[in-house]
């Protein structure tokens, strides 16, 4: 389930444990002492790794870089480091397990808090079952859980009132986990810079007004994470803002450019003779813009950097690229800019194109959003990858490439299998071009004909404009789909028919993308 409504909160499903280590070893007996009236709240001991794998980062003994989390306050402070961002309007479950007598943070799962309390029991079951089953697939069934409810007060509401309002949701979470025989040993509400424990049964133990979270970045855990090179981003809302349509004065000009490009390009793409030429033109233009991005001056701050990229991208260029990558074969060729020096400018380009899918062209954002998600995932940024792919599915729920990548990313699969497929496609295409060149070029009188060109030019240099042969499964062009109800009358829909991706989406034999 992916919910893009800000009213109910966005959602992110499943066991989202990273491969390289937002989980780590810990030593703890995980005693739920909150339920014991004879023991104070603070001595609850959770000894945890600092949300990174020290053996991977430093190549040393993991126990040399542990941070002990002994209180609910330290658990609350750890949440952004467990997720890699600061959650808002979110339900978060974190799995705990024992390994060799030492505790370990396991998978994490997050969902938006539904606005309707009637949905809370179902959401609690979905989240608990998804995290437990996802962990079981990895051979590490959780033994305990820590639950977080994060929501800022509405207008006229206090943090204490948020805590009281969400208390039934905390109860549903504890009940859902209990049915799976995975007890919740701590449930925290975080609101308005303060936190409350739902598991403290001792009267007068915790202050009614909550406990202050303190200044971000000032805890021992924050210092250890900084030393380890872990970056905590802002909120998911800030991340999505980089991918959402612009709302500036350029919107009208961009819509006109998209209308014009649609009328010019769609008839060419649906014809066999024009489709390959449009693909080459699109890839060549993308390479030019990427080179322009790579050579641009460096600026600090994501918002400033995005505005700089928007200024470097013309409306006509954006329109031609957006329409061009609607074709699945062209999109798969563009996905080959996934690693090395190509990845950063490619990701900037796909973000910028996603922001240019304005007005009635919102559905066209599925292609650039999927490309942004793919490049982010290939580069190890699973957070942006999941958000971009979820937004692509929000733009077009039937976009198969986005669905496959989103599932693979959420299941923690290695993107290298997809990279191998794309490299193979590129090498095969270049071999065919080299063979065609060798046949077409007359052999010199003093030497035999050469069988190919020496090496491949490094993208994003402009590729050859020679028409590419049809990709496997792509010999027939796509025809325009039905006009969306959101489009103005007479505007062409485009050429995307994503169901055909079953033939051309890169995937290795016997492997999942």
Predicted pLDDT of residue 390: 94
Q: Is the pLDDT of residue 171 over 80?
A: yes
Helix 272-295 crosses helix 343-355 at what angle (to 10 degrees)? 110
**Which residue, among 97, 170, 176, has the nearest Cα to 135 in the 3D structure?**
97
Q: How many CB atoms lie within 10 A of CB 459?
A: 21
Which strand (E) or helix (H) includes residue 102? strand 102-112
The upper half-sphere exposure of residue 459, i.e. CA atoms within 13 Å in the direction of its Cβ, equals: 24
DSSP string for residues in 469-481: PPPTT-SSPP---
pLDDT interval class at 367 (50, 70, 90): very high
Residue 277 and residue 145 in one domain: no
The domain that holds 102 is classified in CATH as 3.40.140.10
Rounded Cα distance between 433 and 276, Å, is: 13
Query: What helix, strand, coil percent values describe the chain, rounded to 5?
Result: 50, 10, 40
Q: Is 154 exposed, middle or buried (0-12, 13-18, 19+ CB in 10 A)?
A: exposed
CA pseudo-torsion sign 271, 286, 350, 264: negative
Strands (E), 151-259: 184-191, 194-197, 211-212
Backbone angles phi, psi at 84, to 5 degrees: 90, 0
Residue 216 and residue 251 in one domain: no
Q: Contact, 104 vs 24, CB < 8 A?
A: yes
Percent of the chain with pLDDT over 90: 45
Winning range, highest mean pLDDT, from 35-49, 404-418, 449-463: 404-418
Of the residues 235, 259, 288, which one is the last residue of a structural domain?
235
Rounded Cα distance between 504 and 399, Å, is: 13
CA pseudo-torsion sign 406, 170, 89, 51: negative
Residue 191 and residue 216 in one domain: yes
Residue 205 and residue 305 in one domain: no
Q: How far is CA 208 from CA 79, 200, 219, in A?
A: 22, 12, 23
Residue-number span of the structural domain to which 191 is assigned: 33-235
Q: What is the mean pLDDT of residues 211-215?
A: 78
Of the residues 235, 264, 289, which one is the last residue of a structural domain?
235
Residue 249 and residue 225 in one domain: no
Residue 340 and residue 431 in one domain: yes
Q: Determine, yes or no, domain membership for 7.
A: no
* Token pair in block for residue 280: 């080459």
Q: How far is CA 322 from CA 186, 222, 262, 314, in A?
A: 47, 41, 10, 12
Q: Determine, yes or no, domain membership for 65.
A: yes
Of the residues 184, 205, 235, which one is the last residue of a structural domain?
235
**Average pLDDT across the chain, whole number:** 76
pLDDT tens-digit readout, 252-283: 999 999 999 999 999 998 887 889 999 999 99
Q: Determine, yes or no, domain membership for 336.
A: yes
**Which residue, among 18, 39, 43, 17, has the nearest Cα to 30 in the 3D structure?**
43
Residue 202 and residue 131 in one domain: yes
DSSP string for residues in 283-336: HHHHHHHHHHHHHSPP-SSHHHHHHHHHHHS-HHHHHHHHHHTTSHHHHHHHTT
Q: Is the pLDDT of residue 482 over 90?
A: no
Q: Determine, yes or no, domain membership for 449.
A: no
* Token pair in block for residue 229: 């090179």
SS3 29: coil
pLDDT tens-digit readout, 218-246: 666 777 777 766 677 778 888 899 999 99
Q: Is 445 exposed, middle or buried (0-12, 13-18, 19+ CB in 10 A)?
A: exposed
Q: Determine, yes or no, domain membership for 76.
A: yes
Rounded Cα distance between 408 and 414, Å, is: 8
Q: Is the pLDDT of residue 59 over 60?
A: no
Give the chain's domain count. 2
Residue 253 and residue 231 in one domain: no
The upper half-sphere exposure of residue 148, i.e. CA atoms within 13 Å in the direction of its Cβ, equals: 31
Lowest mean pLDDT among 193-202, 396-405, 474-483: 474-483
Q: Contact, 393 vs 403, CB < 8 A?
A: yes
Rounded Cα distance between 51 and 54, Å, is: 9
Lowest mean pLDDT among 93-107, 274-288, 461-475: 461-475
Residue 225 and residue 272 in one domain: no
Residue 132 and residue 257 in one domain: no
DSSP character for 95? Answer: E
**Which residue, among 504, 497, 496, 476, has the nearest Cα to 262 in the 3D structure?**
496
Query: Of 365 and 463, which is predicted with more confidence?
Result: 365
* Torsion angle (degrees, nearest 10) of CA 187, 190, 195, 201: -20
Backbone angles phi, psi at 190, to 5 degrees: -120, 120
Q: Is the pLDDT of residue 347 over 80?
A: yes
Residue 298 and residue 217 in one domain: no
Predicted pLDDT of residue 446: 55
Predicted pLDDT of residue 435: 87
Q: What is the mean pLDDT of residues 310-336?
A: 96
Rounded Cα distance between 267 and 439, Å, is: 32
Q: Determine, yes or no, domain membership for 20.
A: no
Predicted pLDDT of residue 70: 65
pLDDT tens-digit readout, 410-453: 888 899 999 999 999 999 988 888 888 888 877 665 544 433 33
**Which residue, among 236, 325, 249, has the nearest Cα to 3 in the 3D structure?**
236
Strands 90-99 and 102-112: antiparallel
Q: Determine, yes or no, domain membership for 401.
A: yes
Q: Is the pLDDT of residue 343 over 70?
A: yes
Q: What is the mean pLDDT of residues 188-196?
A: 92
Predicted pLDDT of residue 445: 56
Residue 191 and residue 217 in one domain: yes
Query: Of 46 and 85, which is predicted with more confidence?
Result: 85
Predicted pLDDT of residue 217: 62
Q: Determine, yes or no, domain membership for 445.
A: no
Lowest mean pLDDT among 2-6, 295-299, 492-496: 2-6
């Amino acid at each position: 389930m992916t919910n893009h409504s800000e009213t109910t909160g966005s959602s992110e499903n499943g066991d989202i444990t990273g491969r390289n280590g937002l989980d780590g070893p810990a030593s703890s007996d995980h005693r739920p002492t909150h339920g014991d009236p004879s023991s104070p709240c603070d001595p609850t001991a959770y000894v945890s790794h600092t949300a990174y794998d020290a053996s991977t980062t430093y190549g040393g003994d993991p126990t040399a870089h542990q941070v002990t989390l002994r209180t609910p306050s330290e658990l609350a402070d750890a949440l952004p480091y467990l997720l890699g961002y600061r959650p808002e309007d979110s339900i978060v479950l974190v799995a705990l397990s024992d390994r060799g007598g030492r505790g370990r943070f396991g998978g994490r799962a997050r969902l938006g808090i539904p606005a309707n309390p009637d949905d809370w029991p179902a959401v609690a079951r979905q989240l608990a079952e998804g995290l437990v089953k996802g962990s079981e697939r990895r051979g590490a069934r959780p033994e305990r859980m820590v639950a977080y409810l994060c929501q800022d007060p509405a207008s006229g509401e206090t943090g204490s009132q948020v805590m009281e309002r969400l208390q039934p949701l905390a109860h549903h979470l504890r009940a859902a986990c209990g049915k799976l025989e995975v007890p919740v040993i701590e449930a925290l509400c975080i609101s308005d810079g303060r936190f409350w424990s739902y598991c403290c049964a001792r009267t007068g133990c915790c202050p009614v007004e909550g406990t202050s979270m303190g200044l971000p970045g000032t805890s021992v855990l924050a210092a250890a994470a900084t030393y380890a090179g872990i970056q905590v981003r802002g909120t998911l809302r800030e991340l999505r803002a980089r991918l959402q349509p612009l709302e500036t004065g350029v919107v009208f000009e961009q819509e006109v450019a998209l209308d014009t490009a649609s009328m010019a390009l769609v008839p060419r793409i649906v014809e066999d003779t024009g489709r390959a030429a449009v693909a080459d033109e699109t890839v060549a233009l993308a390479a030019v813009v990427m080179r322009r991005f790579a050579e641009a001056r460096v600026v600090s701050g994501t918002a400033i950097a995005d505005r700089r990229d928007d200024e470097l991208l013309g409306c006509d260029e954006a329109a031609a690229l957006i329409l061009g990558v609607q074709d699945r074969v062209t999109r798969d060729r563009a996905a080959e800019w996934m690693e090395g020096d190509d990845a950063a400018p490619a990701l900037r380009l796909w973000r910028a194109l996603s922001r240019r899918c304005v007005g009635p062209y919102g559905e066209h954002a599925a292609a650039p959003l999927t490309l942004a998600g793919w490049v982010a995932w290939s580069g190890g940024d699973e957070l942006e990858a999941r958000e971009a792919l979820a937004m692509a599915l929000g733009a077009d729920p039937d976009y198969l490439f986005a669905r496959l990548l989103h599932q693979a990313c959420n299941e923690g699969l290695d993107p290298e299998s997809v990279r191998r497929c794309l490299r193979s496609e590129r090498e095969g295409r270049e071999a065919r071009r080299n063979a065609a060149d060798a046949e077409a070029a007359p052999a010199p009188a003093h030497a035999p004909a050469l069988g190919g060109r020496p090496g491949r030019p490094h993208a994003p240099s402009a590729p050859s404009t020679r028409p590419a042969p049809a990709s496997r499964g792509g010999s027939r062009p796509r025809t325009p789909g039905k006009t969306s109800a959101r489009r103005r009358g007479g505007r062409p829909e485009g050429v995307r028919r994503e169901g055909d991706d079953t033939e051309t989406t890169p995937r290795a034999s016997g492997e999942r993308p």
